[in-house]
Structure 1
Amino acid sequence: MTAVTAHWVTFPSGDDEIRGYLALPTDGAERAPAVIMAHENLGVIPHRQRVTEELAAEGYAVLTVDLFSRIGGRPPQDHTTQEERRAKAFLAARDEQAVPDLDAGLDYLATRAYVDAGRAAVIGFCLGGGLALVWATESDRLSCAISLYGIPELPAAYSPTHAVRSRIDIADRVRCPVQAHFGGADAVIPLDQVTRLTDALGRSDRPTEVHVYEGAGHAYHDDTHPNHLPEAARLTWERTRAFLREHL
């Protein structure tokens, strides 16, 4: 582990200015591989910032892109129920906007002399986990993609088309190695979706692996969340780090 520096940065995505939380190892003897992190529907929460820093301590240049930059850095606040809150957050970070924002984040890292953007990964959580899978089907810039409890099939209310938006239907088109993690007791993601996603990824011509953790609920990796399951979180991160070392 090495010490890190972390701060907010801004960069362009199309005509918009986007912010991101950037963490870098202080030892700049070598150019660091790039990791783009995609946050959950709550935004760049303190836990996400801490994980950004922890991963930078492993020797990566890590940028968590704020997908809610255009609306003040927080998900929409005009909701009356938790389901409405989640739906509005997903709509505010829809694929058509969020994936280009992630790509713009990688563009930003590519301009930094201390970053080797030719070795690049994406790690996504919940909302960001689904985006990581989508980006992996659209880009040849990624050396690998890692998804933590990314929803395989977005409900119609979460989709700008008002129809179910499936990551399963496109998963066989991933262009890089993919690792995915799910809780076996996730009330948000039915296990049949995980099974179908696993089968679809297996039909790709890239190395893929899917891990399911018995008894783990949604957001189990977040140690500030009621669903936090320490052993599942530890094993998930151990596998995540190994996957990054293998492919970056």
Structure 2
Amino acid sequence: MQHTEAAWVTFPSGADTIRGYLALPVRAQEPPPVVVMAHENLGVTEHRERVTERLAAEGFACLTVDLYSRIGGRPPQDFTTADERRAKAFLAARDEQAVPDLEAGLDHLASRADVDASRAAVVGFCLGGGLALAWAVQTDRLACAVPLYGLPELPAAYSPTGRVRSRIDVADRVRCPVQAHFGGADEVIPLDQVARLGDALKLSGQRTEVHVYDGAGHAYHDDTHPNHHAEAARLTWERTLEFLRAHL
């Protein structure tokens, strides 16, 4: 494990100024490879900051892009039900805005002399897991993508088109290796969607892995969440690090 330093940084995304939480390994012998992290629908939580720092401790420069920068760093708060909260959070970080924000985060990393953005990956959680897949379809700048419990199909209420937005329909066009992680007891993501996503990913010709953890629910990697599943989280972390090191 390496010593790290972390701080908020800002960078442009189109006409807007976006912030991100950046953690760097200290005294690295050479500029480290980079990981752009896409957060869940809760935004950049304290837990997400700690995971950013954990990746830096493993030797990666990690930037978690705040996809809610334009609205104060939090998802919309004007909701009355849990379903409404999630729908508004997803709509506020829709693909058309969030993927360019992730790209802008990578641009920021590429402008720095202390990291090596020519070796780049994306890691995403829930909302961010779906964005990781969407980005991997659109760019050749990523060496690999690791989505954790990204929704294979966004419900119509979560989509700006008012129709289901499917990651499955585009997964055969990912341009980099993908390692995906899902809970076998996820109350949000049906296992048949996971299976169909895995089949579609195989058609890409890229190295792809889909791991399903028995008994783990949605958000199982988050040790502050009621669904935290320690064994699934440990194995996911080990596999993620191995995958990142293999491709970066």
TM-score by length of 1: 1.00
Equivalence map 1:177-188=2 (5 Å): 177-188=177-188
Equivalent residue for 1:10? Answer: 10
Q: Helix, strand or coil: the match of 1:112?
A: coil
Q: Which whole-Å deviations, capped at 9, do the CAs of 1:77-121 have from their partners, x for residues lacking one?
A: 000000000000000000000000000000000011011111000
Letter in 2 for 1:198: G
Instruction: Report if the CA contact (8 A) 1:184-1:213 is conserved.
Output: yes
Unaligned stretches of 5+ residues in structure 2: none
Alignment of 1:107-146 (within 5 A): 107-146=107-146
Per-residue deviation, 1:29: 2.2
Alpha-carbon distance in structure 1 between the residues aligned to 2:31 and 2:221: 29
Query: In 1, Cα distance between the equivalents of 2:168 and 2:137?
Result: 11
Instruction: Give 1:14 deviation, angstroms.
Output: 0.2
Residue of structure 2 equivalent to 1:214? 214
Give the match's secondary structure for 1:175.
coil
In the alignment, the residues of structure 1 paired with residue 84 and residue 152 of structure 2 have an alpha-carbon distance, to the nearest angstrom, of 19
Counterpart code for 2:174: V
Shift in Å, 1:27: 1.3
1:21 and 2:21 matched: yes
1:184: how far off?
0.4
Q: Distance in 1 between matches of 2:28 and 2:164?
A: 45
Provide the C-alpha distance between the structure 2 equivalents of 1:205 and 1:101, rounded to a whole number of angstroms.
Answer: 27
Q: Counterparts of 1:176 and 1:202 in 2: how far apart (Å)?
A: 12
Amino acid at match of 1:17: T
1:23 deviates by: 0.2
Per-residue CA distance 1:51-100 (angstroms, 9 max, x = gap):
00010011111000000000000000000000000000000000000000
- The aligned counterpart of 2:156 is 156
Query: Hey, which bits of structure 1, 4+ residues long, moved more than 2 A?
Result: none
TM-score by length of 2: 1.00
> Matches of 1:172 and 1:243 in 2, distance apart?
20
Structure 2: how far apart are the matches of 1:28 and 1:224? Answer: 30
CA deviations 1:111-152 (Å, max 9, x no partner) are 110111110000000000000000000000000000000000
Partner of 1:7, secondary structure, is strand
The question of whether the paired residues in 2 share the 8 Å contact of 1:28 and 1:114 is answered with no
SS at 2:119 equivalent: strand
Amino acid at match of 1:143: A
Does residue 64 (structure 1) correspond to residue 64 (structure 2)? The answer is: yes
Structure 1 distance, partners of 2:221, 2:74, is 21
What RMSD, in angstroms, separates the aligned Cα atoms of the two structures? Answer: 0.4
Q: CA deviation at 1:28?
A: 3.3
Give the whole-Å Cα distance in 1 for the aligned partners of 2:177 and 2:28: 27
Residue in 2 that maps onto 1:204: 204
Q: Deviations over 1:18-56 (max 9, x none)?
A: 000000001132011010000000000000000000100
- Give % identity: 77
Partner of 1:226: 226
Partner of 1:52: 52
Match of 1:245 in 2: 245
> What secondary structure is seen at the aligned counterpart in 1 of 2:132?
helix
**In structure 2, C-alpha distance between the alignment counterparts of 1:168 and 1:27, rounded to whole Å:** 41
Paired residues, number: 248
